[in-house]
Structure formats: structure tokens, C-alpha cells
Structure 1
């Protein structure tokens, strides 16, 4: 031991930490070379950056180290800030259990490590692990490892190292399983180096990648162990594997059997025999599938971590290095271009590259090697042709890793004919998929249990992933899917597979339609939103041929509800327009249902278009004599009639809907949402008559029905309607309270359904009370949400902004916006609802009191000529931005 003494000023006087040293302080032990910290003898779960931070603090020798210097040392070349430092410092202090304040914060200056420290030279290192099992001398020369020394640190696998270390110390056989290129070998080597003190008689690596003959597995193993196999066989007449076991004897050692997947039977036999004959031996195997030996601990290695799909550039820059895929790509990119940094200009592209390459280390390294030639944007653009683009990895030493395609070809070559057939058929799924979907699409004559067994084998061979959840879903990594699609294109099965895929989703949404009536909106959407990518693929195929129009309508009808709830209105409309162009005079239930649900896509923007779709749907349901499904369509038509000033027709349609719903065998008990629709329409009729008491009664009944469904989305919408009723009745404060309650529930459910209306209405209530500051914030958010739909809701939001402008004295801007809004209502043939009328009247009064009529008319006439994008841009430039400044 070399004790470190303190000088008078408290600085540590000693030698810098070398790579082999072990640092001991308090109840902690830091292995510098392994970047590993033990607290009370147990490994601490710390990321690489937190450990680097600890080393930097210790090397400061008791002096205060400034924050900028820490950032430079721990995050060299990366644009990190003090927020990152605080996060890592918190993690470090938590791991140390720092109630004794081993790390002092020096206000305004930085940090100082104040613990008494002892440094153990590398050769005296005594890692706090299990006791060694000494054995007698042997001719086996295994005391020194044959592990290759890594060229750099292992990135993004700290948690995996901790877990695997525990497994290997507790279990004699651990198999590290994962898809090709995911980094099994690199992780196994790192683990072997870190556990060298656990196994005093050696850690030996047996690389089976280049071995093609199973009979040569024992010989390759013997060579790695320096066992003179020929002499042993001659002297002892032992089988090769038993000769190796005899040479190992009772020694405490770790054997890493690397790349076992193509020699799985031979590797299993070898491992089982050695473990049975050598009590001190532990084996860590790497493979794309397990060895299937009793007592085997399987550890399935996942891809490197990625940020959430909705992470913005600021989050990525600030926390990107916490995700292994981002950190690895950036590190490798800097090796090829020292000027490369992760910043606001490239953050989105870096994340997309890492996501498209599935967080697979080999693919990320290959991509980073192409960066100087292609640039970040060119690299991202080339991902669709990744198997060609990533043709060579300068760091790869094995032939099977020289191209991304070769790596996958290696794995594919290990499959039998049935596995290959199912694998390429599964490539048609662009998203995760259910077991039923896999059986329907990949089966084609095979029994359900045959397909289940093949799926199990593909999962076991790391070519198919299982996603968490109940029931489980499956997924091909995107790179594997692209390869599988290429094999499907080469086969004669492509068209038949695509057709089975589309038919499965048509069957699925037939069932979903029936389920819709009794399942809460949020729950229903959560179930079927997972099929978004698969629905897109099925509809792209079905809408390309008019012969498949009915099949496309069967899928797209109920799925319009998903598009609507996810805010993908424009996408839904594109598919609906294609189907409408080819559906013709189809009078099937699928066509009627498609027309009914497609109205969701225009309801907030173009009620005339929405009404036309619903009237066509009602006509088809009458032809089909389907009174059960006709009832909710008529209830929705009634609401639209009312909003377009056709009150008598609204009453008639609603009366028929009520009679049909209560008369059918599948009435109110099984058509719960249909009944709720009728009640809310009765509420709407009372609302337009300004019968606030009757409206309140209907809304209370609607709330009971929605709560019985457990439907938070509909509950939020009803609360918003209750706020409207309060506002029209003059109870502005109660309206604001209800409006806030509705908006909070909408935000908590993470659904955009009607949120733009709730935002706009609440803004109107606040304007009426004179709270222009809060009203502005909500009105700006409402306008942003409204632009996703366009049309009516945008006009409503711009009318609110016109009133805000008038209240702030910006009369010219307010008058021009009002001209645009009034013209839009006239062109759409719509009338304002009561709240909109109140806002409109207040706006006209404010303008008339401040602006001469001739000037007012001229400004309004100018606004009437604008397009919607022009009006929105004008409002943002003249009212939203100006007021914010």
C-alpha cells in the first residue's frame, strides 16, 4: 500500500492515478482500469461519466476543481452544461451514500473530494469478490489471460456489466444471447478483464467464429487453453473434451466460448462435459441462441439505449450521452472527424440514424465510418439502402462482420427452410405484431402450433424480439426486416403474403368496430394505435388497386378514430380520399361504416363535407336495413344539422335515432356509446335553444354514462360542454373552473381529441373576465393545435385573436381577421354556436366604437381575400408575436 499524506493546506501529496491502481476510501473501493466502484463490497450501479467524474475529483488531490474543468475532462469535445454535471454528481453522491459529505460543494467555484485515500498498486489489488479456490499445480498454462486488450472504453453497457458480473459470480454457466453485431463479444471480453481477480487461474477466450467443423471445437478449445491435446490423448487414452477437463482439474478459471450459434450442439456438449468434470470452472458463452443446458443462466442483450421518440433537440443535446447508441455514434464519429460535435443542427439526424440502425453497435460503427464521405444528412438519407451503404467496417476483423449484409446473412444461414420461410413473411410487418397476426400472415397452411414453435426458435436465435406487455407482441429489428423483405421480394410469395397481411387487418378492424361500442375511447385507441405502421402498409397496398377498395374501407373506417385521436388528421384524409375515389357504388356494410367514421376526419374543419359522408352512410344503412348502426349516424347528423341552422331536421333525425336505438335487440345495453351520442345531442339541442337547465340535466346524464364506461376522453369533453353551459348562463368564474378541469383531464389522457376547442373556449372565458395574459397563452396553444385540422376550428381561434387584438387596441389587425372569419363562415354555410356568437358580438361592438364604418369595411374586405395560411401568418406576426414581446 502507498498511503497518501496530507499537506498543511489540505492538498493530497502523491502520485497521479495510474491505470492499474485501486483507490480505497471510506467503505469504497475504485478499480481505475475497470472504471468500477464497489461500495460495501458490492458493485455500484454507476454510469461511465459518473465514474470519470469521481476519478477527476480524486486526481485533483484534495483541491477544488472548477466546474468548467470537470466538464472539459469528463465530457471532452461534447457541448455539455452544468445541468449534466449536476445530474452525474447527484448519481455519484447517491451511490457513495454520501451522508459523510465525501464530496464538498464549494459555492460558486466547484467541488472538492475530501476523503482520506489509500492507493493500492495494480499488483496488490484485492477486489472484494468471492474467495478463490486454489488448486494443485498443473501443466495447463492458464494463469495469464489471452483476452485481447480493448482499444477504447466500452460504451453504453455499464448496467449490463454489473448484472452479468453478478450472474457469472453466482452461476457456473451464463450464455450471453443477442442478434449479430449487438456487441456480445466486446461485452464478454470486457467482463472477463474485469473479473480476472475472481478467477486466479485464468480467463481464457475460445473464438469459434472461424470454426466450421463441429469436430474441431475441442481442438480449438485446447489450443486456447494451451493444453497439449495430442500428448494427453496418447498418455491417458481420454476423449479430447475429457482430456481438457482433466488438464483444467480443480482450478478456478473462466472460459469464454465466443460465437457458438453455428456450432450449437458441439458447443453445448463441450460445455456440459467440462462443467461436469471441472468443479472450479465457470463458462460464459456468447451466441445468437442458448446452449439449452440444465442450470444455464441466459442473459439476452438488448440494443444500446435510445432517447424517447418525442425527445426534442435540447433534450438530446443535454442528455444524449446517457443513451448508449448516441454516445457510441458520437464517439466513433469523432474518431473519423475530430470536429464533429452533437449540436442543435445535427441532433435530430443523429437520433434518427441511431434509431433506424436499431441501436446495434456494429451498424453504428459502420455508419460513423461513412460520416466524412457522406456528411450527417447524406448518411441519414442513405439509410433506406443501408445494406449497401454500410458495406465495410474498418474495425471488423471477422469476414462475417465486414458488411452489415454479411452479418445478417450469417445469421440467416443458420435457419432451416421452415424458419427462413416464416422469417421472410414476417418482414411484411413494419411495426410490432401479435401472435394472431403472425399465424395469419406467416401460416398459409401451417398449423397455429407449428408457427408458434417456429416463432419460439426465431426468438431463441435472436432474429425476432418480444416486446414487453400483455399480451406479448413481436418485432423484427428494422435492419433485419429490410433484409427479410429483400428475401421476400426474391421469392414467389410476395403478393400472397401482402394480401394475407391486409386481410388479417380487415378482419381485425371488423372486430374492433364491434368492440368500439363498449370500450372506453382511450383504451380502444391504445389497443389499436400499435397497428399504425401495419395499417399504413396494408392501405398502401389496398388503395393501389381499385379491386381492393372494399378491403381498404374495412380497415380505414374504424381506424379513422385512431388517426383522429392521435392528431394525424391529414394522414387519415389522404387515405380516405383514395378510398372514396375507388369505392364507387359499393353498398356493403364496410362501405357504410367507412363513410360513418370518416366524418371524424372533417368534423372540426368542414362540417359540410362531414355531413355529406354521414348522409351517404345513413343511406347505405337504410338499404342494408341495419337499424342498429343507423341510429348513431342519425344522432351525429342531428348535431350537424343544428350547427348549420337546420333545427327542424335536427329534431327529426334525433327522434328517429332514439326510436331505432331503443327498438333494436342490441339497444342501449350493448350500444353504450350510441346511447351516449343521443344524450349529448339532446344536450346540444338545449344548448342552442339556450335552455340552460335542460342542457345541464342532459349533460349530467351524459356524464353518468361516460363514467360508467370509464371513458376519460368523453368525460373531459362533457366537462368542457358543462363549462360552455355555465358561460352562456353568465357564470363566468364557474365556466373557467370547469374549463380548467376539462383541459387538465385532456392533458392527463395525452389525447388531442377536442383539446383545441377546450383551449379556445377557456381562452374566451378568460378574455371575458379580462385575464388577457393567461388568455393569450391558451389561445396561442389552441391555434397551434387547430392548424392540424384547419377550417372551422382555425376560424374560431382567429376570432378569439381578433377580440384579444381589439381589447389591446390593435383595431386594424382585429378588423382584417374578422373579415377573414366572417367570409369563412359564409362560404362554409355554417352558423356560429352560442359562445361564438357572444365573442363575435363583443368584437363587433369593440370595433364599431373605435373605427369609422368605412375604414372598418375596407379592412374587413381585405381580410376576406386571404387564404387560411395567410390569415394564420398575419395573426401570428401582428398579434401573437407582438403581444409576447
Structure 2
């Protein structure tokens, strides 16, 4: 029946006319679907294989089998053959399709009549086949659903994004989804290779199956497309964006049934255009990919794992490698092309090797699919393509922007990239955002911008090659020096959460500026100034290790100079000297740095820094367990506070006195001083005390109050103070203060009160927080508390070594505060293990230490514990009774009702 007019059901197929009629009326049908129908009808009753149909309908063209299935579905819809089993076209599983309806010759040939003029003129089929996808589309379902809806509502839909982000992949997938919607099919036109804008109409016509013959090709193309209902996919338009915009705008007006799906690195900016900026694939932030299950929730990780599996013949993500894969995807900013290129390197580098390689550079991402478009075969090629489309001013600005680490503002961009005022930085930045080379976040004020890491590395290479990176780096560092000096002044006047959030966003640029300043090409004077200016921010963010490292770096340079600046030396030594910054790993005592800072402050008569240094040295003496020396420092601080411009400094002196008196065993006077402080103290609105004296002062004073209240027998009041204190500390959200509250009040008071459940809960909190922030001293305290809990719960075998090891680390570092308590804990564990002599020896040593330092607050309990050990020995009963009496007498003298009650309840006869 080849080339004959045939009938089946209500349909007549005129093969020569390429016309399908239903009850004599023309039927609109896509050209591909019509070709399939003709091929099947010509071999009615036979199985026509999928391969035969594809070669017939798409000659000399590679298409996926999906295209065939989509067009068969469209044909069945036209024929009303939707119910299974199909009565017109049957699919033969694994082979192809068969036309099963009854076919007969038409009684009369179909003639073209006047009545037929209204039917659409059949045109040659579109030849712009859809490119083959490299694998399944991952992480785009939500966006595809959104775009699907938009494609129904608008005539021009432009997908915009940076190179390699997946614009073509999404466009092709969207086109496949919409094959059946357009009677004249879908045409895909890759405009990337086109260099001459004059050839645009020809390229589009070829993809759409149009034949142009007139001189005015655009007019002729518009005329032919005006008779079409089709989807026209125009891929890679950024290099000819102005010319393509004019073409699309013209065709959209004259061919209203044609939909345009455009991919570009910047919008066309034509009337009626809907722009969708494609986001990167989701990727885990630091700490969000601890295991395979959590990592695989992110689309970027899914893509990486699937492409690695394709590359090496199978791969399952393990929990051990999940953090590394998360890091890889994070460094690649969720850019699909970069992830695919990285996955191709796993065969030679392995996961760990790839992660290490990407920490150094992105140069290894150079091996892509051979079948990919040239501009997508390597990361460098994709960036080269974008860079080639920039003018000189835009290239210069992009290179300078590579100096910013993460975010920057328009003000910062102008300061660094203006190149002497010859470039309109704002205009260039706007163009770079439009071209998807810079990401803008306008949800905050002022707006923030950033370069993706790969773009930044590429632009940095370009800046370096230009020979202008040195001067640009100086401008960058100078700008941030001025910014952080201003921030330090603002902090002194009015510190709040807004200030912290704003300047926290510039931490990356602070680091970059300091790295340059202390490099061989940098300027250490700028580096010293930056370090001093940034100290308040480091304190507020609890970035202890980073602050120490940068301060030492500045001091090492400054101390080598012939005439170092005294004020900078004083400030840097003060920062270096904070006792809480001293790690157990063997760093020298902070006291020496504070003594140097105090000496300079006295020489230049700086009252503020004299107070800071005296406070820090008081902390050092307290932590060293030397309570008498600590009280002397507190008294000197109180005298110096009279000269301070801040009247609250005198009250901080009261708090210091109270804590020293508490450890010396004078609980009534300690309570009087701390209550005076709490009654009168008002924290400055600008939060300066937090940085000057390390902690939130009211909470720190309440630590002493809670301890004194418990010792004085007001247990419920003390426990209420503890609960309110920890709730307030967590609300303040300053980690150092929270850890101080936990280690000095919450955990020890619950242990003294015997509430092991709450002690366990808060010890766990302390362990977690101190580990996360590398606060080694307080972490060792937490281990001692944990060991105490284990011993009390009958597991001395586990508790004793835990306490012994933690105490050894504390003593090695010179932290002797609470050593009497921890030795008593260790003694109780040894007693439980039957090692009585060792326990006795530890208690004797602890008592001897208290006589040297004056730390008397725990002596009643040491004497009590010693007496209980003696009671186990028949020949030591008299000594035990003597120690019990001494313990009770001392507890009474100190006002320590809690100790006295405990002694009396244990051995009331001996306590009389």
C-alpha cells in the first residue's frame, strides 16, 4: 500500500499529500508522528523494529529511543488509541510496533480542494534533534516542574546560569517532557559554534526544518514559522545575545504559536521574556555529610556518586568517604559540569587524592566526555568561553574581584577594582552578575556579592598574568584595615548582634588580607594594624586558635623591629595572654604576656590596659591555685579601678575579691562582696566588658554566688541559681561564658549535691562544647567530672584512669584550680578499688598544697574524707575522730554549713 491513499476506521491517510483526514476533515499532526504513521501503515500487520522506525524518521541523525516513544504516544493521542490493549498501533515488547487496525484502499484519491486551503501546510520536519544526555538528570525535579508550568504560560523562557551549571541539560529534559504538546515537534539549535550573527536565521531555519530562499531570511523564516506550533530550543546564546534577542523578538511577534526555550549566561532582555536563574545543585555545608545517608540527601553528592560509578564500573559511598565527597562537592559549588569532571578523576586519584588536589587548585578538572560540546569538555574551556565574551573593563574588574575571599560589598569592589578611577566598577559588576560570573545576594543591606570558587581561581590566574595582583592586593588589605579599625571603634561605642553579624561576613577577607600582608610580597605594617583591629571580633566569635596564631605572627614581626610601636605591642601581648587561650598542648603561660602588657601599660599610663592586665593576672593566680596571690591582684585592681572612666570597673573588682575570698574559705565576706556587685552592676550596652574581661560579668559573678550559697547551706537557692544561670548563658550564646558556667558552677554543684543525673547531662554538654572549640582545660575538667560520676555509680575501674589522665594534663599545663577536689575524687576511686594507701597519700598531698596556697574552701571535706579512710583501720580510730573534729570546727569558722551538715550526718556522735 505504499504511496496509496488508505482508510482505517474514520481516518484516511494520503501518503503522497502527507495528509491525515478524520471523517473528511484535516487532522493536525506533528511531522514526526506522521512519518511514523506512514511507515507503520505501509507495513500493516508486520512488526516494524524500533531501529527501523528511528532510521526512517530520523535519517542520518542520532536520537534516543525516548524520542520515538514520545512521538508514538503523540500519534496514539491523535488517533484516539489510548486504551490498552491498543486497537490501532500495538507495541511488541523488546522489538517494536505493529499497525493492527484493518486497512483498506480509499474509494477516491484525496484531492486538494478549496476546502482544504484552510488546513495547515505540511512543512519539512525539524532536524534539530535533542542532544543525548550523559546520564539521568539529578536534583532538578522541582525546577523542571516549575519550568514546565512557565513554558505553558509564556512564549519566551530563558534559563540563565553560570557555565557548566546545567542549563542545556535542564532545557533538553524540559523539551523531552513537552514533545507531545507541540504538533510540529521540538527543534534544538546549538548556537555555540556560530560566530557570524548574519547566519543566525539560517541556523535556526535548519534546526526547525525550514528552507530559506529569499534575500530577507529573517522575514522568510518568520513567515514559515507562523504556520508552526512548535518548541524552539535555542542553546548557548550569550556570545550573540543582542542579535539573538532581536531575532527572537521578531519571531515571537510573527509566529505566536512557537514557544522559545533559551539557554544563556545572561538574559535576552526582550519583551515577554520570563527568566529563570538556575541554582547550583544542593551540596552539604561543613559537618552535614558525616555519613553516607546524610550526604546522599544532597543532589551534588548524588550526581558525583553516580558519575563515579559510571566511570569506574560501580561505586557505593561509604560513611568514611562521605565527608570527603561532601567537601569535594562544596569546593565545586554544586556546579554540575565541575562535579562530572571531578568524578572522572577518581579512577586515577581516588576520593582522598581528589579532595587533596582540589584544596590546591582546580587544574585537574580537564578530562570530560569526548561527546560533550567543546566548551563543556573541560572546566577551563567553560570559563574561557565566558571570559572571551567580556570587554577589557569587565575582565579587569573580574580579575580584581578574585582577591575577595567569599563575600564583598559594592564599596569594597570599588576600593579594590577601580584602578585609579578609570573604570565604572558598579556598571561592570552589574554586567558580571547578569552574565552569571558573579552571584549577588540582595536580600541583605548592603548587598553582598561573591565569585564561585572555580571562577575565582580562574580570575586569579588572569589577574596574576596581568602583573597587577600586587598593587590590587595592597588596595584590598588597605580597605579592610580601614573597615576593621572603624569596626573596632564602633564596638567600643555600641556593640550588638547586628555588628557581629555584619563583620562576621568579612572574616574571609580579613584572612586573605592578613595572608598577603605577612607574605614576602606584602606589607607587615598593614598586617599588624589589621591584627590589632580584628581582636574584638575574634573574641566575640570565640575564635581562640585563630586569634592566637595571628597575634603571634604579628608579634614575631613587630619584636624584630628597631623601634616597635608600644601600643601595638601592648595590645598584642594582651590578646596573647588571655589564660583561657592557653592550650594544654604545651604553649607557654599567658601570664608572661600579660606581665609584658602590664609593664607597657604602666609606662604609657594606659589605665584600661592596666586593669585588663591585672584582671588577667588575677585569673592566672586563681587558675594556678594560688588564692592568696590572687586576692592581692584583686585588691590592686580595685585600687586602680578608681581611675577608670567606667564606674562598673570598681564592681568587677568586687567580684574578683569575692571569688578569691570564696577559695580562701571566707564564705560570709565572699557573699557580701558578690551581692554588692550584683546589686549595683549594670552591664554596658556596648558589651565592652565581654572583650575586656573575657566573660559576661553578671553570669560570672553568679557562679561565685551559687557556690557560696551551696556551701552556706542554702541548697535550693543555689540550685535555682544554677538552673537560671545556665539558661541565661545559653541565651547569651557566648561559648566561653557558657563553658565557664558549666565547669565552675553547674557541674560541680550538682556533683556536690549528689544529683548524678543532672551532673551527667551538663557534663555531656561541657564535653561537647569544649571539644568543638578546642578548649582543652575545660575539657579536662569535664573528664574529671565524668570520672567522678563513674566512680560514684560503682565503676571506679573506668573512672580512676579517666580522672588521673585529665588531672595529669591539667597539672602539666599549670592549671591547679580544683586540684584538691580532683585528688579527692581520685582518692575515693582508689578506695573503692581497695587501694587505701594510695588514697591516703593523695589526700595528704592535697592538704599540704592547701597550706601552701591558702586554698581552704575544700579543706573541711578533705579532712572528712581522710577521717573516713582512717575509720577503716582499727588502730587509727582516735586519729579519725580528731580529723572529724578539725573538719567540723573549720567548716563552722568558714560559714560552710553544707560541710558541717555532711560531717554531722555521717558520724553525729563524733561531730558533737
TM-score normalised according to structure 2 size: 0.70
CA contact (8 A) 1:719 1:739 kept: no
1:145, distance to aligned residue in structure 2 (A): 7.1
| Residue from 424, 435, 450 that aligns with 2:424 | 450
1:548, distance to aligned residue in structure 2 (A): 3.7
CA contact (8 A) 2:266 2:435 kept: yes
| Residue from 658, 672, 678 that aligns with 1:686 | 658
**Pair 1:484-2:459 in alignment:** yes
CA contact (8 A) 1:144 1:203 kept: no
- 2: CA distance, partners of 1:521 / 1:601: 25
1:119, distance to aligned residue in structure 2 (A): 7.5
Structure 1 residues 96-115: aligned runs within 5 Å: none
Q: What's the counterpart of residue 817 of structure 2?
A: 832
Q: What's the counterpart of residue 778 of structure 2?
A: 793
**Pair 1:414-2:389 in alignment:** yes
Pair 511,286 (structure 1): closer, same or farther in 2 beyond 3 Å? same
CA contact (8 A) 1:611 1:637 kept: yes
Pair 296,424 (structure 1): closer, same or farther in 2 beyond 3 Å? same
| Residue from 584, 590, 611 that aligns with 1:610 | 590
- 2: CA distance, partners of 1:275 / 1:589: 70
1:829-863 Cα deviation digits (max 9, x unpaired): 76637xx766766776887897545665489999x
CA contact (8 A) 2:582 2:588 kept: no
1:578, distance to aligned residue in structure 2 (A): 2.0
Q: What's the counterpart of residue 695 of structure 1?
A: 674
- 2: CA distance, partners of 1:400 / 1:503: 38
| Residue from 590, 597, 619 that aligns with 2:575 | 597
CA contact (8 A) 1:732 1:765 kept: no
- 1: CA distance, partners of 2:594 / 2:657: 19
CA contact (8 A) 1:605 1:792 kept: yes
Q: What's the counterpart of residue 41 of structure 1?
A: none
1:441-486 Cα deviation digits (max 9, x unpaired): 2223126x81111111111111111235332221111111111222
Pair 618,704 (structure 1): closer, same or farther in 2 beyond 3 Å? closer
| Residue from 309, 327, 340 that aligns with 1:365 | 340
- 2: CA distance, partners of 1:515 / 1:614: 25
Pair 540,143 (structure 1): closer, same or farther in 2 beyond 3 Å? closer
SS at match of 1:463: coil
- 1: CA distance, partners of 2:185 / 2:194: 23
- 1: CA distance, partners of 2:331 / 2:404: 16
SS at match of 2:363: helix
- 2: CA distance, partners of 1:706 / 1:514: 14
1:409, distance to aligned residue in structure 2 (A): 1.0
**Pair 1:303-2:280 in alignment:** yes
Q: What's the counterpart of residue 557 of structure 1?
A: 532
Unaligned 5+ residue runs, structure 1?
1-116, 125-133, 234-238, 663-667, 669-674, 863-885
Q: What's the counterpart of residue 200 of structure 2?
A: 217
**Pair 1:261-2:238 in alignment:** yes
1:292, distance to aligned residue in structure 2 (A): 2.1
- 2: CA distance, partners of 1:302 / 1:547: 37
Structure 1 residues 631-642: aligned runs within 5 Å: none
Q: What's the counterpart of residue 460 of structure 1?
A: 434
**Pair 1:727-2:704 in alignment:** no
**Pair 1:163-2:146 in alignment:** yes
More divergent stretch after superposition (841-850 vs 148-157): 841-850
Q: What's the counterpart of residue 97 of structure 2?
A: none
Structure 1 residues 202-601: aligned runs within 5 Å: 202-230=185-213, 232-233=214-215, 239-249=216-226, 251-314=228-291, 317-384=292-359, 387-394=362-369, 396-446=371-421, 450-467=424-441, 468-520=443-495, 522-544=497-519, 548-564=523-539, 566=541, 568-584=543-559, 586-587=564-565, 589-600=567-578
CA contact (8 A) 2:245 2:270 kept: yes
Pair 494,223 (structure 1): closer, same or farther in 2 beyond 3 Å? same
Pair 345,830 (structure 1): closer, same or farther in 2 beyond 3 Å? closer
SS at match of 1:284: strand
| Residue from 644, 647, 653 that aligns with 2:631 | 647
1:601, distance to aligned residue in structure 2 (A): 7.3
1:126-158 Cα deviation digits (max 9, x unpaired): xxxxxxxx9952454467873335464311111
1:544, distance to aligned residue in structure 2 (A): 3.6
Structure 1 residues 799-838: aligned runs within 5 Å: 799-801=784-786, 803-804=788-789, 806-808=791-793, 832=817
1:609, distance to aligned residue in structure 2 (A): 3.8
- 2: CA distance, partners of 1:538 / 1:194: 50
CA contact (8 A) 1:521 1:711 kept: no
- 1: CA distance, partners of 2:85 / 2:134: 25
CA contact (8 A) 1:466 1:472 kept: yes
**Pair 1:764-2:736 in alignment:** no
Q: What's the counterpart of residue 21 of structure 1?
A: none
Pair 605,702 (structure 1): closer, same or farther in 2 beyond 3 Å? farther
TM-score normalised according to structure 1 size: 0.72
Structure 1 residues 177-196: aligned runs within 5 Å: 177-196=160-179
- 1: CA distance, partners of 2:200 / 2:689: 61
- 1: CA distance, partners of 2:798 / 2:140: 58
- 2: CA distance, partners of 1:283 / 1:553: 58
CA contact (8 A) 1:786 1:793 kept: yes
CA contact (8 A) 1:358 1:477 kept: yes
Pair 822,361 (structure 1): closer, same or farther in 2 beyond 3 Å? closer
SS at match of 1:257: strand
1:306, distance to aligned residue in structure 2 (A): 0.8
SS at match of 2:179: coil
Q: What's the counterpart of residue 37 of structure 1?
A: none
1:753, distance to aligned residue in structure 2 (A): 2.3
1:351, distance to aligned residue in structure 2 (A): 0.9
CA contact (8 A) 2:283 2:299 kept: yes
- 2: CA distance, partners of 1:368 / 1:821: 45
1:707, distance to aligned residue in structure 2 (A): 10
1:598, distance to aligned residue in structure 2 (A): 3.8
SS at match of 1:500: helix
1:825, distance to aligned residue in structure 2 (A): 7.2
- 2: CA distance, partners of 1:722 / 1:489: 56
Q: What's the counterpart of residue 849 of structure 2?
A: none
Pair 632,757 (structure 1): closer, same or farther in 2 beyond 3 Å? closer
CA contact (8 A) 1:250 1:279 kept: no
1:688-717 Cα deviation digits (max 9, x unpaired): 334324413423554665699999999977
Pair 394,202 (structure 1): closer, same or farther in 2 beyond 3 Å? same
Q: What's the counterpart of residue 736 of structure 2?
A: 753
Pair 331,825 (structure 1): closer, same or farther in 2 beyond 3 Å? closer
- 2: CA distance, partners of 1:274 / 1:578: 64
